[in-house]
């Protein structure tokens, strides 16, 4: 079964009823090269091009029954620096 979330079609899916964890992935999960965590504690994985390829949703059934939906706040990453010392000084 294919599941579409946020415009992404996840064709590799598994629901662990005992743990109440839903695993969604685009293709083979082994293609993931990076992983991060959402604000809610769920896992998201990314392919080599930076695209979202997988989601691990904790307490999926409980959240859906309690709230009528599952909300995931995706992490953002920002790196900033102003002090690189003498690294950029011409030789």
> Could you read off the pLDDT of 46-79 as tens digits, one per residue?
999 988 999 999 999 999 889 888 999 887 754 4
CA distances for 52 relative to 5, 15, 49, angstroms: 11, 19, 9
Residue range 15-26: average pLDDT? 93
**pLDDT score of 18 more than 60:** yes
How far apart are alpha carbons 71 and 58 in whole angstroms?
Answer: 11
Write down the domain spans for the chain: 3-67
pTM tops 0.85, yes or no? no
């Amino acid at each position: 079964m294919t599941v579409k979330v946020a415009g992404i079609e996840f064709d590799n899916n598994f629901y662990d009823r005992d743990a109440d964890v839903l695993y969604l992935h685009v293709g083979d999960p082994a293609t993931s090269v990076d992983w991060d965590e959402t604000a809610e504690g769920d896992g998201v994985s990314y392919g080599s091009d930076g695209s979202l390829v997988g989601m691990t949703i904790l307490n999926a059934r409980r959240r859906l029954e309690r709230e009528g939906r599952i909300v995931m706040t995706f992490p953002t990453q920002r790196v900033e620096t102003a002090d690189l010392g003498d690294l950029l000084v011409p030789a």
